Amino acid sequence: MKKLRAGIIGASGYAGEELVRLLSRHPEVELTCATSRTYAGQSLGSVFPRYRECEVKFMEPVASEIAARADIVFSATPNGVCSAMAAELLDAGLKIIDISADFRIHDQAVWEKYYKMEHKAPQLLAEAVYGLPEVYGEQIRKARLVANPGCYPTSILLPGTVLLRAGLVESTGIEAICLSGVTGAGRKVDLQYIFPECNESIRPYGVTGHRHLPEIEQELALAAGVPAVTMNFIPHLIPVNRGIHSTVLFFAKDGVTADTALDALHAAYDDKPFVRVLGKGELADTKHVTMTNMCEIGVAYDARTNRVIVSSVIDNIEKGAAGQAVQNLNLMAGFEETAGLL
Amino acid sequence: MKKLRAGIIGASGYAGEELVRLLSRHPEVELTCATSRTYAGQSLGSVFPRYRECEVKFMEPVASEIAARADIVFSATPNGVCSAMAAELLDAGLKIIDISADFRIHDQAVWEKYYKMEHKAPQLLAEAVYGLPEVYGEQIRKARLVANPGCYPTSILLPGTVLLRAGLVESTGIEAICLSGVTGAGRKVDLQYIFPECNESIRPYGVTGHRHLPEIEQELALAAGVPAVTMNFIPHLIPVNRGIHSTVLFFAKDGVTADTALDALHAAYDDKPFVRVLGKGELADTKHVTMTNMCEIGVAYDARTNRVIVSSVIDNIEKGAAGQAVQNLNLMAGFEETAGLL
Amino acid sequence: MKKLRAGIIGASGYAGEELVRLLSRHPEVELTCATSRTYAGQSLGSVFPRYRECEVKFMEPVASEIAARADIVFSATPNGVCSAMAAELLDAGLKIIDISADFRIHDQAVWEKYYKMEHKAPQLLAEAVYGLPEVYGEQIRKARLVANPGCYPTSILLPGTVLLRAGLVESTGIEAICLSGVTGAGRKVDLQYIFPECNESIRPYGVTGHRHLPEIEQELALAAGVPAVTMNFIPHLIPVNRGIHSTVLFFAKDGVTADTALDALHAAYDDKPFVRVLGKGELADTKHVTMTNMCEIGVAYDARTNRVIVSSVIDNIEKGAAGQAVQNLNLMAGFEETAGLL
Amino acid sequence: MKKLRAGIIGASGYAGEELVRLLSRHPEVELTCATSRTYAGQSLGSVFPRYRECEVKFMEPVASEIAARADIVFSATPNGVCSAMAAELLDAGLKIIDISADFRIHDQAVWEKYYKMEHKAPQLLAEAVYGLPEVYGEQIRKARLVANPGCYPTSILLPGTVLLRAGLVESTGIEAICLSGVTGAGRKVDLQYIFPECNESIRPYGVTGHRHLPEIEQELALAAGVPAVTMNFIPHLIPVNRGIHSTVLFFAKDGVTADTALDALHAAYDDKPFVRVLGKGELADTKHVTMTNMCEIGVAYDARTNRVIVSSVIDNIEKGAAGQAVQNLNLMAGFEETAGLL
């Protein structure tokens, strides 16, 4: 059987590296091209020593060259790059899974405000599907262009959209306090990310106006059926390699407790391969999901403050980026949702 | 000049170890006795290899023996131990700085509910002074019995009491999301604390009803001048040795912004040796205070949600335990507040 | 097709946990039983939250019960347990892969000296095959009882046996200085292994007479064709979860350099799935092999001291324990050597 | 009393930061100037947030400007910088403690071979004193120009020179296998040092021809009274912030055991403030010396291989750099050897 030919645009970061790992063991997909301006001409195996056997060579990011080699492309580039190439790639018949943020926000003005640049393909915004398979599985199956969610949003939205859709919690007064491992910052060579500056350090950053905020608010509002959600999203940098823990506080509607919330989550996810709802009284721990595409969700309820407290974990590179991208590919290509991911 | 003779009851944990370090370099204090049931008969130097020179021998915790050797004692025992010995020690003329939680809560019923035991010295609750020197300095100077605050409470109360006393924030809707290094769990030999279970792990715990909660609520209510504060306090375990970061969310009163909050904090703390208020736009990082008795506080303001976001860090063993205890000793004994702590 | 039924005796440690992971994705094997005195009656999924789906229940370690459920068993027990059950299991027709040290040493007296107990099945020592597939593949295919090598020995022997067999290095003056992550100590609840005692700590241990020494010396002597090798083996504990790095120093024979050594290693391993020989000038890094069954080997040559310096890495739980055990199972059962391991 | 005025050339790295800390609490010294091309014009407090109070401003490294402000200077610059300024500073009457490597090697040709540049002040090589206070204390007291030893050399030479001078071990066949925390690489912004590349990684580097080798060999040869020592020095990078552990293997001379070696070390160091010889059977652990100027030394003896195995630890930034530099200053200025260091 002929395999699906996949390419990666901007493959030299941690999400790119993980895509190489996932695709190399995917039974139905062949990695046929990868681009990187920095490493053009070198083999992927020489840049990512874990995957020394990978003989695919990095090439310059030229749309026509990619189109000649791939049926579907992942874009793991900086923001603004995928949108500049997307139309040409789609016209050439490729499908796109964009791991950058170019197509996540439906409202062009909001996107431009948070990302501080002009959008290069606003005509495609209406077509792009937000690639959270547990929410938009049907649309993803039919999509040409999927916007892979951010890592923080994935950890917040998997529990949050269920609770809001089920009408169990208020759409006001939501707060998400999130803790991320350092790969979340990308493979960035910067003083603040060298080992001695991160190790034995705990610090928040971007506590107002983080770029992931509008995408979280957009999807929570859609789930709640309200025009807008306005919330706090407060990320912190934690000295682990991988893993995001999100603590999300919601105000419970009348009579809702941990049990009610857990029931709704079980109903939504017990037949889903990549979300596990924990038992009553259990909270999530990143170490149980690192190196997997799983999201684990625990719930507590504080009667004194009437707060539903959600504890949600993912691996930021897997379910938060490359793993979810492959899950989207599986849906778009009609493969088993779990192919290459277990 | 004769030095003040200090003893430590329950000196075998991390707070005890740190007291040994701090007292050994204190110019006015001599460590004369230390108790530990586990290590009785061994020298402190043999149990804490960093302080090999320390020849003081652990002895059994017998009040009369302690009273014969010390003018002031630190208690770093499990809860319920200090309260059982306190009356006898006070009667013998000693002063006490209790690092356990026995005397932190004014309301005996609240204490017994959270600590799940009967209080052994309720008659002393009225006398005990909550040992946060930046708030209760005057009372501490005159106290016989000081209840050293918990680590999480210290990080939350130093910024929180100022903002509430100044009337800048609401006393309702407060949320504290706190991240602690593993020494915060004590020198506890338990599967969940071995290295492979903590390293590369991020996890919340005790998200409702943590024992530090009543002490935080008590002090915030006193600062706000309200009968009670009811809030969320959500701790997480982080793979660092030392350090607590607290993100505390308050609702701003009319017209309050980051500037207003920073002004109030500067006014309260610029003449205090152990609190540093950060510049506008700066957030705190635990690595800047580990191994010191400092608290650093940053503030942001989110106009969209009208939230004052406080970022506060301490070293949980220093300002969160042993360092603050020595600061209290300094006040109680009439020494320089910073003696032995810089 | 009927799957091979596998059991695990002593499944509650880190090697046991990893076996659960590897077997659950193995295409030809079904995990049918697991024993643990501590957790008898609980499901594996409840003890290892990463594998929550695993519904196999821990049972008491009773040979007849195991024999009724499995065709092959892994023993991941403390030393002395497998040897006590081995004869009965073999008689019942099972094959055994012993991850403990009971059958690694051919000389009973040496074993009893290092392990400080009487051997319980000396009659099986002659039959047991040392389970290093790259060296003893043919014997393993026919074996009933395989002694899975220790983690340190695996990292040393994969390069060392090749260089000695090829006659490139002396069998005298060998020194192995090894660095291991903390899971190497097992899932041991002991003060020295709690997070604050390991994190930010580097320390050697067992620098003379470590239990892995006789097994290393036995196999190096066999490879060199000499009656005995006497060497230094110096392990250190390093604050990572997984990974062993071994630096092994050999005296080069006349004319041998890094190139000669690399040629011999390439000749031995280029067709082997789980050993990668690095390029000239490259040294090994544990992070490139963690969570895999790979061994990576780099070589340098110091002309000033005439030393061949080998740098070898494995994941102590994978190639150093559970992964290699599954590789052995694959050979014993006639499966692809890599089944379940890529 | 007027304080000694100290300057720091190249103060923006980790050694510079630590000097700021140490000097700010030194009772007899005042930090009066600091240079940094990168940060010229900014205050030290703004660059090193731990020392926010430090108002000294970085200036350009101009010898005459430094000479106007300081009596003694530390140079923590890249190699080749101090030697270019040294003559002018000495002529202006300043004393110099060079933390870089410019003056550590007596033989100019050896220095130029290892450091791959021309030496800029060969006329000063004869005058420079190797700044290991436990060995060269008398010469340091009288020196104008002190070459502060490297971090690895300090950990190896403190035990090694004693054993060689006492004639207990051979000067041939020495091997030093060393493990360093990541601050040992300096405050270097490079892909290989970002957190995710160092965390959960163990790797050797520079296993032949490391720049610290000639300095180790020079001093061991002087201690042994032989023309030259030729040895292996094999460093590894370990994911801790601070700390070096050196395992050094020596061949024992006739009749020498751990006891003999420990006796010699006790005789050499029991009256020295910054070296602790551990008890028989004890090995060193970096965590017991981090954030201190101590070196701890343990010894084992392997009768099978006749090897004396030394385990030696220091904090690479303290005893391995800034702390030792201040210890040298104390000797040069006639202060207590421990001033500012306890």
Considering the domain architecture, whether residues B185 and B293 belong to the same structural domain is answered as: yes
| B:D CB pairs within 8 Å | 18
Considering the domain architecture, whether residues A233 and A274 belong to the same structural domain is answered as: yes
For residues D228-246, one letter each, b for 16 or more C-beta atoms within 10 angstroms of the residue's C-beta and e for the rest, the string is ebbbbbbbbbbbbbbbbbb
Residues of D acting as catalytic residues: 151
Query: In C, residues 120-179, which contact D (CB 8 Å cutoff)?
Result: 173, 175, 177, 179
Nearest alpha-carbon partner for C170 in C236, C225, C219, C115: C225
Considering the domain architecture, whether residues C208 and C119 belong to the same structural domain is answered as: no
Q: Which parts of chain A have pLDDT scores under 50?
A: none
Out of A25, A49, A291, whose CB is closest to C342? A25
Find the domain containing B230 and state its range: 152-316
Considering the domain architecture, whether residues B157 and B108 belong to the same structural domain is answered as: no
* CATH number assigned to the domain comprising residue C227: 3.30.360.10
How confident is the model over D279-331, as pLDDT tens digits? Answer: 998 999 999 999 999 999 999 999 999 999 999 999 999 999 999 999 999 99
D96 contact partners, CB below 8 Å, separation of at least 6: D72, D73, D75, D82, D86, D89, D90, D144, D145, D146
Nearest alpha-carbon partner for C305 in A93, D173, B299: D173
Amino acid identity of residue D81, one-letter, is: V
Burial (CB count within 10 angstroms: exposed 0-12, middle 13-18, buried 19+), residue A69: middle
Three-class SS state of C312 = strand
Task: Check if the beta carbon of residue A286 is closer than 8 Å to that of residue A240.
Answer: yes
Per-run averaged pLDDT (10 residues), chain B, 342 residues: 92 91 94 93 88 88 95 96 96 97 98 97 98 98 98 98 98 98 93 97 97 98 98 98 98 97 98 96 96 97 98 98 98 97 90
B41 found inside a domain: yes
C45 found inside a domain: yes
Considering the domain architecture, whether residues B120 and B205 belong to the same structural domain is answered as: no
**pLDDT number for residue C55:** 86
Q: Which parts of chain C have pLDDT scores under 70?
A: 1
Nearest-Cα residue of chain A relative to residue B291: A200
Interchain proximity B291–D288, CB inside 8 Å: no
Three-class SS state of C34 = strand
Nearest-Cα residue of chain D relative to residue C201: D287
Task: Give the whole-angstrom CA distance, residue D93 versus residue D19.
Answer: 22
- Start-to-end CA distance of chain A, whole Å, equals 22
Nearest alpha-carbon partner for B145 in B121, B161, B111: B121
Task: Check if the beta carbon of residue D51 is closer than 8 Å to that of residue D21.
Answer: yes
C-alpha distance from residue B257 to each of A230, B221, B303 (Å): 18, 22, 8
Query: In C, residues 197-226, which contact B (CB 8 Å cutoff)?
Result: 197-200
Final residue in a domain of this structure, among B94, B112, B127? B127
Interchain proximity D195–A194, CB inside 8 Å: yes
C335 found inside a domain: no
Question: Phi then psi for B118, rounded to 5 degrees?
Answer: -80, 140
Nearest-Cα residue of chain C relative to residue D174: C305
Chain B touched by A287 (CB under 8 Å): yes
Task: Give the whole-angstrom CA distance, residue A218 versus residue B94.
Answer: 62
Considering the domain architecture, whether residues D116 and D183 belong to the same structural domain is answered as: no
Other C-beta atoms lying within 10 Å of the C-beta of residue C59: 18
B147 found inside a domain: no
Considering the domain architecture, whether residues D105 and D42 belong to the same structural domain is answered as: yes
Residue B235, Cα to own-chain centre: how many angstroms?
15
Task: Check if the beta carbon of residue A133 is closer than 8 Å to that of residue A149.
Answer: no
Six-digit token pair at B78?
Answer: 């499990």
B340 contact partners, CB below 8 Å, separation of at least 6: B22, B23, B25, B26, B27, B28, B29, B326, B330
A261 found inside a domain: yes
Interchain proximity B187–C198, CB inside 8 Å: no
Q: Would strands A307-314 and A244-251 be described as parallel, antiparallel, or unpaired?
A: antiparallel
Task: Check if the beta carbon of residue C221 is closer than 8 Å to that of residue C213.
Answer: no
**pLDDT number for residue C50:** 82
With 70 as the cut, is the pLDDT of residue D201 above it? yes
**pLDDT number for residue B64:** 94
* Chains contacting B (3 or more CB pairs within 8 Å): A, C, D
CA distance C283 to chain D (A): 7
* CATH number assigned to the domain comprising residue B105: 3.40.50.720
Six-digit token pair at D32?
Answer: 């009066």
Six-digit token pair at A10?
Answer: 């901007």
**pLDDT number for residue D6:** 97
As a residue count, chain B comes to 342
Task: Check if the beta carbon of residue B130 is closer than 8 Å to that of residue B221.
Answer: no
Cα torsion for C161, C165, C171, C177, to the nearest 10°? -20
* Chains contacting C (3 or more CB pairs within 8 Å): A, B, D
Nearest alpha-carbon partner for B38 in B25, B47, B51: B47
ipTM: 0.96
Considering the domain architecture, whether residues A97 and A162 belong to the same structural domain is answered as: no
Task: Give the whole-angstrom CA distance, residue D169 versus residue D260.
Answer: 10
C169 found inside a domain: yes
Other C-beta atoms lying within 10 Å of the C-beta of residue A187: 16
Interchain proximity B232–A307, CB inside 8 Å: yes
Considering the domain architecture, whether residues A89 and A178 belong to the same structural domain is answered as: no
Out of B200, B204, B307, whose CB is closest to A287? B200
A275 found inside a domain: yes
DSSP C150: P
C277 found inside a domain: yes
Considering the domain architecture, whether residues D119 and D264 belong to the same structural domain is answered as: no
**pLDDT number for residue B226:** 98
With 70 as the cut, is the pLDDT of residue D37 above it? yes
Interchain proximity B285–D49, CB inside 8 Å: yes
Nearest alpha-carbon partner for B335 in B29, B20, B23: B29
Chain A touched by B238 (CB under 8 Å): yes
Nearest-Cα residue of chain B relative to residue C191: B189
Radius of gyration over every alpha carbon of chain B, rounded to an integer in angstroms: 19
Q: Packing angle between helix B151-165 and helix B133-142, nearest 10 degrees?
A: 100
Task: Give the whole-angstrom CA distance, residue D1 versus residue A270.
Answer: 76
Nearest alpha-carbon partner for B103 in B91, B89, B115, B88: B115
User: Among all chains, which residue has been given the structure tokens 């006497």?
Assistant: C230
Chain D touched by C191 (CB under 8 Å): no
How confident is the model over D146-157, as pLDDT tens digits? Answer: 999 999 999 999
User: Among all chains, which residue has been given the structure tokens 């040092």?
Assistant: D193
Nearest alpha-carbon partner for B229 in B177, B178, B176, B173: B173
B58 backbone φψ class: left, alpha, beta (φ>0; ψ -120 to 50): beta
Task: Give the whole-angstrom CA distance, residue A215 versus residue C141.
Answer: 56
Report the DSSP beta bridge partners of residue D338. Answer: none
Active site residue C151: yes
Six-digit token pair at D218?
Answer: 């020079």
Task: Give the whole-angstrom CA distance, residue A243 versus residue A246.
Answer: 10
D254 contact partners, CB below 8 Å, separation of at least 6: none
Task: Check if the beta carbon of residue A163 is closer than 8 Å to that of residue A261.
Answer: yes
Final residue in a domain of this structure, among B94, B127, B160? B127
User: Domains in chain B: how many in total?
Assistant: 2
Q: pLDDT band at D1, cuts 50/70/90? A: low
Instruction: Report long-range pairs for A138-145 (Cβ below 8 Å, ≥24 apart).
Output: A140/A328, A140/A331, A140/A332, A141/A331, A141/A332, A141/A334, A143/A95, A143/A332, A144/A90, A144/A95, A144/A96, A145/A86, A145/A90, A145/A95, A145/A96, A145/A98, A145/A103
Q: Would strands B244-251 and B307-314 be described as parallel, antiparallel, or unpaired?
A: antiparallel
Considering the domain architecture, whether residues A88 and A187 belong to the same structural domain is answered as: no
Considering the domain architecture, whether residues D60 and D182 belong to the same structural domain is answered as: no
With 90 as the cut, is the pLDDT of residue D12 above it? no
Tell me the three-class secondary structure of chain D, residue by residue.
CCCEEEEEECCCCHHHHHHHHHHHCCCCEEEEEEECCCCCCCEHHHHCHHHCCCCCEEECCCHHHHHHHCCEEEECCCCCCHHHHHHHHHHCCCEEEECCCCCCCCCHHHHHHHHCCCCCCHHHCCCCEECCHHHHHHHHHHCCEEECCCHHHHHHHHHHHHHHHCCCECCCCCEEEEEECHHHHCCCCCHHHEHHHHCCCCEECCCCCCCCHHHHHHHHHHHHCCCCCCCEEEEEECCCCCCEEEEEEEEECCCCCHHHHHHHHHHHHCCCCCEEECCCCCCCCHHHCCCCCCEEEEEEEECCCCEEEEEEEECCCHHHHHHHHHHHHHHHHCCCCCCCCC
Amino acid identity of residue D113, one-letter, is: K
